[in-house]
Chain A
Amino acid sequence: MSDAADVQRVLSGDVDAFGRLVDRYYERCARFAVRMLGSRDDAEDALQATFLRAYRSLGKYQERDKFSAWLYRILVNQCRSIAARRNQRERVFVREEAVLLNAPDRTPNWTGEESELVQRVLAELDPLLREAFLLKYIEEMSYEEMSTLTGVGVSALKMRVKRACDRLRARWEYIKDE
């Protein structure tokens, strides 16, 4: 069952078909939101807002667009606005928070410590760099897709991804031994 077909079903009255779309994308979106926002609570808010928004504006979805790209556009914007609201709440910036996610360890090779360090080093990236990095390497989007999604040009996005990699590489050396 393709995404576009499921959208059609929802618009024709089969609202349960939206549940299938949510099932298909929830975990992936959750992963992006958590990596982007660094906080499970904020990520949950972003997910809720994203899927509600998607549901409400499903009528605007054009079949020629990839559903995932359309959905991600909403997700990225929701993450941005939650981050902006959060910045206003926490105006005085004492230090970058190392956010502990305690995601349960599924593979024995990775320790919980690695997970925490990775999340910390991601959190230290400037938000626009983090966003570009996640879309490129975690969501594995093409630069063209990213460009459509964010409204930013391909070369600027490439620069952001490159800068993100530079910073991550530099940062990792320092924090991995802590």
Chain B
Amino acid sequence: MSDELNSIDESVRLIVMEARRPVAIDPEARRRLAEALRAEPAPTRSSRVLSWFVEPRPFALPPFTTAALAAGLVGIGVLTGIALNRDGRAPTEQPRAVAASSQLPDSVAPRAIKFVLVAPQAARVSVVGDFNGWDSAATPAKREADGTWTTYVPLRPGRHIYSFVVDGTHFVSDPSAPIAPDDGYGQKNSVVVVAGASS
């Protein structure tokens, strides 16, 4: 078996060696299993009639239940969708944002991009991103009567990364924009691609 390891990349080999190490399992879990086994009737050779239900199978449902269960699962999915906000979080005072929209037809000049965040509880909101050095003081948003915060930012055509900052400290990505994944700082950001003849 170790010959096979020689043929794989060194970094993968490191991963394999580490992953082969034993893991710590809670002795409590072991005890629970022992108890559960004690409560079971002693196994015997079972008859063919029951065989479908007890024989280990690749993950699959008994045929006659599949359709019903599938329908049920779809129902669960839809219900969950209704119970949550668009961004999947439970309805609380969590801020949510409306899509940043790209506005005007082609040119290389910057165009004003509108950023909106719904955050009625916030005391102040700003937009930060690669266009303003992530400076939370640079681009404050203005609060509207309905608790939404709006600002316009001139952005050149192309890809820009941004986030909202609520009350100076709380970084909130735009739930209705494409995700710019967390690169190590612990929060994801958002992407806007401004249309135009970018170079």
Contacts and interface: CB of A to CB of B under 8 A. Distances in A.
Direct contact of A and B (CB under 8 A): yes
Interface of A: 10-11, 13, 15, 18-19, 22, 26-27, 30-31, 34-35, 40, 43-44, 47-48, 51-60, 70, 73-74, 77, 80-81, 84, 88, 91-92, 94-95, 101-104, 106-107, 110, 114-115, 118, 121-122, 134, 137-138, 140, 150-151, 165, 168-169, 172-173, 176, 178
A103 B21 contact: yes
Given A48-B29, A56-B40, A122-B19, A88 B1 contact: no
A10 B43 contact: yes
B56 interface: yes
Contacts of A169: 9, 11-12
B25 A40 contact: yes
A169 B73 CA distance: 37
A104 B24 contact: yes
Contacts of A40: 23-26
Interface string B14-53: 1110111111111001101110110010111110000100
B184 interface: yes
A153 B88 CA distance: 38
10 contacts: A10-B42, A11-B44, A22-B33, A40-B25, A48-B32, A59-B44, A60-B56, A73-B56, A103-B23, A110-B18
B25 A44 contact: yes
B40 A55 contact: yes
B68 to A, nearest CB: 17
Contacts of B25: 26-27, 30, 34, 40, 43-44, 47
Contact of A59 (B5, B11, B45, B57): B45
B181 interface: yes
B55 A77 contact: no
A46 B12 CA distance: 26
Q: Which of B36, B76, B77 has the most CB of A within 10 A?
A: B36
A37 B157 CA distance: 42
The majority secondary structure among interface residues of chain A is helix
Given A47-B29, A101-B23, A118-B14, 4 more contacts: A22-B33, A35-B19, A40-B24, A121-B15
A60 B51 contact: yes
B57 A77 contact: yes
A138 B84 CA distance: 40
Contact of A77 (B30, B43, B46, B56): B56
Contacts of A30: 22-23, 25
Q: Which of A31, A94, A150 has the most CB of B within 10 A?
A: A94
Nearest to B51: A60
Interface string B63-78: 0000000000100110
B58 interface: yes
Contacts of A168: 11-12, 15
Contact of A91 (B1, B9, B40, B88): B88
A90 B179 CA distance: 18
A21 to B, nearest CB: 11
B170 to A, nearest CB: 16
Given A58-B43, A106-B21, A115-B18, A51 B33 contact: yes
B65 to A, nearest CB: 14
A110 B40 contact: no
Contact of B58 (A10, A26, A77): A77
A44 B23 contact: no
